[in-house]
Each structure stands twice: as structure tokens, then as C-alpha cells.
Structure 1
Amino acid sequence: MTNFISIFPLGVVVYPGEQLNLHVFEPRYKQLIAECVVEKKPFGIPVVIDKKIMEYGTLVEIERIETTYDNGETDIVTLGIGVFRMLEHIIDIPDKLYAGAIVNYPENYEVGSSRLLQEVLHGVRELHAILQVHKTFKKEDDQLTAYDLAHHAGLSLDEEYELLHLFYETQRLEYLKRHLHKVIPMMAEMERLKERVKLNGHFRNLSADNL
């Protein structure tokens, strides 16, 4: 399917199923959100990297208006509902302050591998343990997806964007698995280095085993 959507470019990656809270303060986006609420229509969040609007983004729907301020600004809660590919960026729309895009929606295959999921989940928890970060997920372990775990795996914005346009769940899980296998040893070594630095200057009980 190909259609026109209003767009709200942001320097973040939003995944399908992800809740994103936004404070809307610019006039063009206040207009966009007001129209989406009245017309009950979604809008697109294309990813911005290095001040460039990228090809892929996520269609989101407004779940609720959390707060409306006297100056017309709003706090809204949105939910990612699908990945789109931008075919044409339309900057000037008559009577609109915001831009839009002609997009299509690549088919997304959501069935993955339970074994891979468990490996990735184990890696995420290992990374969090090293970093002394405590996080819980709203779903049971076997219900989690790569999208649920991606923001918790220490990916850069570029890497999160790469994962956004992988359209097979197994590919996404493999991507996270490779990333974690690379980053966990690096972080573990950094933690060991921190411990060595902490010991510097302390009195230590050392032995060379009578050599």
C-alpha cells in the first residue's frame, strides 16, 4: 500500500509496539497533532541522523493527550504501529505548516526463533549486570521481540536505524546477538580497568609464590 502521511521528523528511532511520549511545542507540529486528533489519523516519525531525514521511519498513532497547556502545547502518548519507507518528501503542503511524505509499508515478518531470543535476552541482562543497570520488561520473556530489546542493548542511533529496516525478526535478533557479542567483552574489560584504577595507591597483600 502507498499513501500520503503527515510527518514529524525526530532524531530518534521508534519501533513498532513502542510507546513514545512527546512534548509538542512548535506551531507546525501543534497543527499536525491537532488535525490527527480530530481526524483520528496516524502520522509518521522519520528518523533524522546528522540533520538528514532518512528513508525509513515509523507510523505512530496518538493514544491519548496527556496534558494540554494554555499556550497550545501538549504532552501526548503515541504508539508505533508499523515501519514505512519514504518514497517522496513533500515539503510544501497548501495551508499546512508541516511537511508530509508519500510512503509505502514493507512487509514485516514477525516470527523469530525462541532460541535466538533467549540468547539475546541473556546478553542484554549480562550487559545490564556489567553496567549495574536494573531494567524490567512489561512482557513475559517468551513474548519479547527484537523491537522490545533494541533500545536496551546499547545500540547507537545509526545501529538502531539499521535494525529498523531489517524486516525479518530472525535478522533483527541476529543483529542484536552480534552486537552484544562485540560489546559485552569490551564493557567487561572497561569494568576490570575501573577496578584496577581503584586499587592504585591502596595497600595490597601481594605474593609471588616464593619465586
Structure 2
Amino acid sequence: MENLIPLFPLSLVVYPGEDLNLHVFEPRYRQLINECIEEEKTFGIPAFIDNKLPGYGTEVHVTTLHQRYEDGRMDVKTKGLRIFRLVDFLNPVPDKLYAGGRVQLLDPEEPSTSGTFLTPLLDRLGRLYDLLQIETDYDPTKSPLFSYKIAHKVGLSIEQEYELLTMGTEAERQQFLIRHLDKVIPVVADMERTKDRIKMNGHFKNLDPLSF
């Protein structure tokens, strides 16, 4: 089923369940957000990458109006709901300042914290964060769609984040993240070893004499 919704393209990827703060200042987006608040309707954030809309985005709704400034600007908090595929882009929507589009809203995925790939994913995530000396309290039981929870936290490029957005199952996304971490962890480990060598440079060292 296709729906016509207002669109707020951004050069980022939003995932279902994600909280996103927006500072809204352009007249077209002030109009869009005002309507969504007053009419309690949703809007879409399609990913805008390399100066184009590749086709997928996330339906979001405004959860909090933090501040409204005298000149009309706003600070709002939004939350991701469902992923959509853009069918037709309208810029602008007739009689509106903002763009919109006909979208196919994808059915929400059934949450699941189990799976063959969760344990190896958590193992790699722990290794990465140990190397970076970052503390984490990620709990998969509190984040059923766990891949979305950590996707912005593992060094993916925006193109990789978008690729993850287009994947239909949690298992597929977890495998994608495992492959990514398998490439990233050795690079980070080598960087940490390099940092240690740099720190040692210029300090006195106990060296064993070499016998020739």
C-alpha cells in the first residue's frame, strides 16, 4: 500500500527506534513540522547521499517540541518508526513549501533477541570497544532490533549505513556488521600498537644487548 507523506531529506540514515534531534530553521521544514505537530501525523526522512535520493528512508514522528524560537525556528525530538521505499518524489507538494512523496511503508519486523549471529556480534563489539577504551552497556534484551541500536557506533560509512537500512532481516544485518567488524578490528588494533610505539619514542628503554 502506498502513502503520501511529507519528506524531510537529510544526509544521514535514521533507523526504526532511533531518537533524532532536529533544529528546524528553513521555512519549508518549519511548515512541515508545524503541520505534523498540529495534525499528529508522521513524516519521512529519506537518506540523501551523493546529491541524490537512493530510495529508502524512515518514517518518523515528533515526540517532543523542546523549544520554539521567536523567529519560528524549532528544536524537536523525533523517533524512527518504519522503513519505507520511495515510489514517487514530489517537490514541492502541491500548495505546500515542502517536498513529499508516495512511499511504500514496509511491514515492521518481528522483534527477536535470539539468533545464531548475536553472540559473535557481541564478541566483536566488545573487542572493538576494549581497543577504543569505550564503556558500553548495550543489552540485546532491551534492544530487540539490536543491529539498529549499534549501527551508528561501529564506524560504518553513510553508504554502509544505508545498505544496512535496506536489509530485510535482523540476521542479515547482524552478519553484515560482523563482516564489517572483522575488517575494522585489525585496523584499530594496529593503530593502537602504533600509538603505543609513538608514546615510547624518546623515553628510556631497557634494551637487551644483541650478540653478533
Corresponding residue for residue 180 of structure 1? 181
Superposition TM-score, scaled by structure 1 size: 0.92
Corresponding residue for residue 167 of structure 1? 168
The answer to whether the 8 A contact 2:115-2:171 is kept is: no
Determine the C-alpha separation between the residues in 2 that align with 1:112 and 1:142: 6
Residues 68-121 of structure 1 deviation map (CA, whole Å, 9 limit, x = unaligned) = 111111111111001000011111322211000110023454446444223222
CA RMSD, aligned part only?
1.7
Q: CA shift at 1:28, angstroms? A: 0.3
Residues 152-178 of structure 1 deviation map (CA, whole Å, 9 limit, x = unaligned) = 111111111100010111001101111
Corresponding residue for residue 12 of structure 1? 12
Identity of aligned residues (%): 46
**Residue pairs, 1:192-211, within 5 angstroms:** 192-207=193-208
Alignment partner of 2:202: what SS?
Answer: coil
The answer to whether the 8 A contact 2:8-2:43 is kept is: yes
**5+ long unaligned stretches in structure 2:** none
The answer to whether the 8 A contact 1:66-1:77 is kept is: yes
The answer to whether the 8 A contact 1:19-1:78 is kept is: yes
Alignment partner of 1:136: what SS?
Answer: coil
Q: How many pairs does the alignment contain?
A: 209
Corresponding residue for residue 102 of structure 1? 102
Corresponding residue for residue 33 of structure 1? 33
Alignment partner of 1:151: what SS?
Answer: helix
Q: CA shift at 1:181, angstroms? A: 1.0
**Residue pairs, 1:49-128, within 5 angstroms:** 49-110=49-110, 111=112, 113-128=114-129
Determine the C-alpha separation between the residues in 1 that align with 2:61 and 2:2: 18
Residues 22-72 of structure 1 deviation map (CA, whole Å, 9 limit, x = unaligned) = 111110000000011111100000001122222000000111111111111
**5+ long unaligned stretches in structure 1:** none
Superposition TM-score, scaled by structure 2 size: 0.92
Alignment partner of 2:163: what SS?
Answer: helix
Q: CA shift at 1:210, angstroms? A: 5.2
Moved over 4 A (4+): 208-211
Determine the C-alpha separation between the residues in 1 that align with 2:114 and 2:186: 24
Alignment partner of 1:88: what SS?
Answer: strand
The answer to whether the 8 A contact 2:55-2:86 is kept is: yes
Amino acid at match of 1:155: L
